[in-house]
Structure 1
């Protein structure tokens, strides 16, 4: 049987912080189209570092990372930016919303850059995330939970091939958290995207297809 091509693959990836402290030690993983994977681990175990590498925000010291058929080792800064714009979307604990743009403008910004702006899809995201009455506001006028929902919506508006999320529901109540996770899982089902999600929640991890654990720089 032919193995499905990987949407994200790490092959013996190593990353060491300045000063010589190893963060990732020979990490290998595969994420296939339509697959959802939960990544857990203790604080400081390297989960965010792994996501930064997968999203081309940082480079590995050794090993190979491939996203949707593109090897990251061969990309310059412009190529890495294009990959994040066109193939991968990231939701991190820092919201990184553009303060001079309204919620509506923030939601549309990345999709427009990627040439994939879809008013109907964006409207569905807005409704599902409960942002309909926030579109004219600016980030500073929003609560932390509202900003987090905008950041999630902005990432999903591009219909990314690969969605990387670091504790995306950490500032949300249980009802909003369930709605956000359901929307992410539906995106994967509808588009064949892949989801790699960092979480401390066993309940969230159970809803995903697979669960991997990072400890002392190694996956299990």
Structure 2
């Protein structure tokens, strides 16, 4: 398995538990939707899988690397080289063009491939927008740039937290279609947090987080 989460526990700073022994696994090329009520710990679990936060107990392994053994430098390297994240907020750099935003993460990871970035631009319908700045794009266009930026380094694992939450229904469908097609093309694994059952049913697997546990 690419990603293995085993009996993971996490509490807030005040000691209140949010994850009470969560376990799941995901392999290369698989897609999994994580659903649940607001405050159920979905984003927390996503952040733990992406080495953005530290869990209290249990084990998370990505490609054979035990995340609990990594220091801050190791976690940063893992995020830079093997994991990519897409959020509800697009988080594009306003002073960079679409083309520069698209290639940014790949360049930081020393994995920039101009041909692959060109392919992503074509697939995502960004070819004619490469010289524009984010402020001149629609929400759907900005999210397509964010997806391309995430996939430019060819990550093993793509984590997406409500990636269509700020989009209308048409843009949401288009963005999801493109994301799933590109994930399939790269054989990356996708763990996606969503409140939408319609979106969840588009993925290979669905699990629900409730009371700090997978149900």
- TM-score relative to the length of structure 1: 0.90
1:168-207 matches, cutoff 5 A: 168-207=163-202
On the 8 A contact 2:140/2:175 being kept in 1, the answer is no
Q: Does 1:49 align with 2:44?
A: yes
Which of 112, 118, 124 aligns to 2:107? It is 112
* Equivalent residue number for residue 97 of structure 2: 102
Give the C-alpha shift of residue 120 in structure 1. Answer: 2.8
Per the TM alignment, residue 138 of structure 1 is displaced from its structure 2 partner at its CA by 2.4
Q: Distance in 2 between matches of 1:153 and 1:192?
A: 15
CA RMSD across the alignment: 1.7
CA distance, structure 2, for counterparts of residue 21 and residue 132 of structure 1: 48
SS of 2:14's equivalent?
Answer: coil
Report the alpha carbon displacement of residue 148 of structure 1 after superposing the two structures with TM.
Answer: 2.2
Structure 2, unaligned runs of 5 or more:
none
Q: Which residue does the alignment assign to 2:7?
A: 12
Residues 23-54 of structure 1: CA distance to partner in whole angstroms, max 9, x if unpaired? 11111111111111011011111111111001
Deviation (angstroms), 1:82: 0.8
User: C-alpha separation between the residues in 2 aligned to 1:211 and 1:73?
Assistant: 26
Unaligned runs of 5+ in 1: 1-5
Per-residue CA deviations over 1:53-107 (Å, capped at 9, x if unaligned) read 0100000011111111111111111111111111110011232222322111111
Residues 186-218 of structure 1: CA deviation (Å, up to 9, x unaligned):
333333221101112222111111000011111
State yes or no: 1:217 paired with 2:212.
yes
Distance in 1 (CA, whole Å) between partners of 2:72 and 2:103 is 23
Conserved? CA contact 2:140–2:171, under 8 Å: no
Q: Where in structure 1 do 4 or more consecutive aligned residues deviate above 4 Å?
A: none
Number of the residue aligned with 1:163: 158
- Change over 3 Å in CA distance of 1:133–1:182 after alignment to 2: same
Q: Are the equivalent residues in 2 in contact too, given 1:148–1:171 (CA < 8 A)?
A: no
Aligned residues: 215
Per-residue deviation, 1:112: 1.6
Corresponding residue of 1:65? 60
Residues 158-204 of structure 1: CA deviation (Å, up to 9, x unaligned): 22100000111222333433332233323333332211011122221
Q: How many angstroms apart in 2 are the aligned matches of 1:124 and 1:180?
A: 16
SS at match of 1:180: helix
The equivalent of 2:141 in structure 1 is 146
Q: With the length of structure 2 as denominator, give the TM-score of the two structures.
A: 0.92
Aligned counterpart, 1:23: 18
Q: 3-state SS of the aligned residue for 1:111?
A: helix
Inter-partner Cα distance in structure 1 for 2:140 and 2:38: 22
